[in-house]
Each structure stands twice: as C-alpha cells, then as structure tokens.
Amino acid sequence: MDGLTRTKELVFVLAATNLPWELDAAMLRRLEKRILVPLPEPEARRTMFEELLPSQPDEDMLPYDLMVERTEGFSGSDIRLLCKEAAMQPLRRIMTLLEHREEIVPDDELPKVGPIRSEDIEIALKNTRPSAHLHAHRYEKFNSDYGSQILQ
C-alpha cells in the first residue's frame, strides 16, 4: 500500500468527477474501475419529477409526460434545477401581487402560496437548459479510451 503499514482492514475509495478527461495519468492508475454513469433515461427522469414535484391532492396532475419528453439530455442536477424553478413560480406570483401594494400587508392577510401549475412547468422548461449534453462526445470518448467494460 505505497508506504503504509500492512493491515487486514480494507479501504474502499469512491470518487466522482464531471470532467474525467482532466484527471492525470497517476490518478487514472490509482482508480482502477472507471464507470460512466449516463444521463437519466425517461423512466428515471419521471421518477425524479414525481419525487421532486409530487402532485397534490385536489390539484390538477402535473404534466410529467411532457416534462420527461422535453428533458432529453438533462442531468440529474439539471432536473433538480428545473424543479426548483417550477416550484418558485407560485411564490413569484405572490411577490408580484405584493410589489404593487403601497401599504404593508398584515400577516393574516397575506395571500397563500398556490400550487404549481402546468404553466409554471412551461416557464421552467423555457428558462432551464441542459448542461451535460455539451460534453457528451467527450464522455463517450473517455469511456471508450479508459472506461471499465461492465458486462450486463
């Protein structure tokens, strides 16, 4: 173990990077298994949307199929960002209402934050762009050059 005393205890190292082509040769030698984790498939994206933006009872169902269809090439982080953007829309509606008031609104008269609506999803889809697809070819090249071939 490169200068360390011998022991029967095992050490498991798990590392992750968004830019594997930036790793130097010494690091690549030490990380024996290199596995490319692909972008989420449609089923995984749907599960993420259902978890991050659950439908509320007595409210219209959110357009999960549309979200899945329009997020091809999105990473998990991109999807989380899109969901945050959609979740902020009801609050932004309230802020717009309150900005036009000249007097201070008492706490008991503050408007309630409404549900996330389909149009909130549309706004979020327009305002959120995928990030990982820009390097897709580099990931594939790195994986073919250095990746561990996993048998399925």
Residue 22 tokens read as 């930036």
Sign of the dihedral defined by the CA atoms of residues 67, 73, 76, 77, in that order: negative
* Measured distance between the N- and C-terminal CA atoms of the chain, rounded to whole angstroms: 31
The model's pLDDT over 41-91, given as tens digits with 9 standing for 90+, comes to 999 999 999 999 998 888 888 999 999 999 999 999 999 999 999 999 999
Nearest in space to 145 (alpha carbons), one of 19, 21, 7:
21
Work out the number of other CB atoms within 10 angstroms of the CB of residue 45. Answer: 22
Residues in the chain: 152
Q: For residue range 90-139, list pLDDT tens digits in order.
A: 999 988 888 887 788 788 877 888 899 999 999 999 999 999 878 888 98
State how far the Cα of 108 lies from the Cα of 110, in Å rounded to an integer: 6
d(CA 55, CA 49): 10
What's the pTM? 0.78
pLDDT of residue 152: 57
